Amino acid sequence: MAAGELDVRHLGMQFDGLSALTDVSLRVPPGEIHGLIGPNGAGKTTMFNCLTGFYKPTAGEVWLSGDRIDGFLPHVISGAGVSRTFQNIRLFSNMTVLENLLVASHRTIRGQPVHEVPSRQRGRFSRGSLAKARKVPVALGSGLAEIASAVVQQPSVRRSEREAVARSRELLRSVGLPGRENVVARNLPYGDQRRLEIARALATVPRLLLLDEPTAGMNPQESASMIALIRSIRDQFETTVVLIEHQMRVVMGVCERITVLDYGRTIAEGTPTEVQRDVRVVEAYLGTRAIKDSNHAAP
């Protein structure tokens, strides 16, 4: 499985009068760990929501390894190989750890091809009633077939279920939660819930993994092990990683390149050291006064 290449072109997201993102472009080569930072309200999470189809961007395009994926529904984009975690952990909290992973294995259990991007004709321009009418019998048939195979549970269904369970156990080992299959998700300690969320995102077999503040609320030791985990995931699962982060130690420690957003615009991009020295970044974080002060202090 090759890691995906993310190419965001002039992305814009407008909520009525409010411009949450304006002309944001971003290019992440395959296999890179890319940081997305910026002050609160800069549009980082909005960006993730646009990339995953939770929001439909009002301008611009999102390309993943040569396929345009913006404008599709979230489940289609997930099928194309984009998966995410959430800033506020959003596990299926009353389901067990294993069930959380099996839900995310939804496509693979069915044997649907990994990374499928539907043609634009059927995606964005399917508003015509004819196009919709053609889809109805197909959808009906597949729904019926699914119910039938769930009831009959023929050997192939059982086999793919067993395989999914085995894969899920494997995933749990990879994120450091071995043997916790049967714990109800909400009963996991906080840090483990974050790990489970990452495992769940990985269960969809992503080419692009979006992590929204993976170390939020963690102490330095936990953050350090999370950094190690993110690196090992990138290597083991061959996925491109974009992460939103507030802890500078994490950003500088794990990200190979960084994009800085402020008020919905890109204000800087580069390696951690480049970004750290960028005047506009310091300005955005600390205000203009800080720069003047530091100029006075060190003439």
Partner 1 sequence: MPNARTLRGRTSLKLPEWGQALIFLGVGLVSLLFLDATWIRMLFLVTLYATLGMGLNVVVGLAGLLDLGFVAFFATGAYVVAIWGAPISPAVTGTTDFWILLPMAVLAGAGIGLLLGLPVLPLRGDYLAIVTLGFGEIIRILALNMDNFTRGSSGIFAIDKPQYGLGQVDHVNEFFVMVLIAAMIVWFVTSRLRDSRVGRAWEAIREDEDVAAGMGIDTTKYKLMAFATGAAIGALGGAIYAPFIDFVAPQSFSLIVSINVLALVIIGGMGNTTGVIAGAAILIGVPEILQFDETANLLARFGWLRDAANTSIDGLNALTTLDITKLPPAEEWGDKLALYRFIVFGALLVLVMVLRPSGLFPSRRRQLEFDSEPTEPVTGGV
Q: Rule CB under 8 A: which residues touch partner 1?
A: 45, 49, 52-54, 73-75, 78-79, 83-84, 86-90, 92-96, 98-99, 102-104, 106-107, 109-110, 139-140, 142-143, 146-147, 149-151, 153, 157, 161-162, 164-165, 181-182, 184, 186-187, 190, 193, 200, 203-204, 217
H/E run at residue 272: helix 272-277
Burial of 113 (0-12, 13-18, 19+ CB in 10 A): exposed
Burial of 151 (0-12, 13-18, 19+ CB in 10 A): exposed
Comparing CA positions, the residue from 280, 241, 240 lying closest to residue 260 is 280
Residue tagged 């009633």 (tokens): 129
Choose between 153 and 232: whose C-beta lies nearer to partner 1.
153
Instruction: Tell me the closest approach of the beta carbon of residue 201 to partner 1, in angstroms.
Output: 8
Instruction: Tell me the closest approach of the beta carbon of residue 66 to partner 1, in angstroms.
Output: 21
Choose between 147 and 286: whose C-beta lies nearer to partner 1.
147
CB-based burial, 28-52: b 16+ in 10 Å, e otherwise: beebbbbbbbbeeebbbbbbbbbbb
Choose between 86 and 283: whose C-beta lies nearer to partner 1.
86
Instruction: Tell me the closest approach of the beta carbon of residue 155 to partner 1, in angstroms.
Output: 13
How many C-beta atoms surround the C-beta of residue 225 within 10 A?
14
Please state, in angstroms and as integers, the Cα–Cα distance from residue 198 to each residue in 84, 106, 235, 264, following that order: 8, 16, 15, 26
Comparing CA positions, the residue from 51, 47, 23 lying closest to residue 37 is 47
CB-based burial, 186-215: b 16+ in 10 Å, e otherwise: eebeebbbbbbbbbbbbbbbbbbbbbbbbb
Q: How many residues does the chain have?
A: 299
Is the separation of the CB atoms in 67 and 104 below 8 Å?
no
Choose between 118 and 270: whose C-beta lies nearer to partner 1.
118
Instruction: Tell me the closest approach of the beta carbon of residue 145 to partner 1, in angstroms.
Output: 11
Choose between 104 and 281: whose C-beta lies nearer to partner 1.
104
Choose between 28 and 202: whose C-beta lies nearer to partner 1.
202
Instruction: Tell me the closest approach of the beta carbon of residue 136 to partner 1, in angstroms.
Output: 9
H/E run at residue 134: helix 129-152
Look up residue 75 and give its two tokens.
Answer: 């489940």
Choose between 233 and 268: whose C-beta lies nearer to partner 1.
233
Instruction: Tell me the closest approach of the beta carbon of residue 193 to partner 1, in angstroms.
Output: 7
Choose between 217 and 220: whose C-beta lies nearer to partner 1.
217
Instruction: Tell me the closest approach of the beta carbon of residue 209 to partner 1, in angstroms.
Output: 12
How many C-beta atoms surround the C-beta of residue 265 within 10 A?
15
Instruction: Tell me the closest approach of the beta carbon of residue 243 to partner 1, in angstroms.
Output: 16
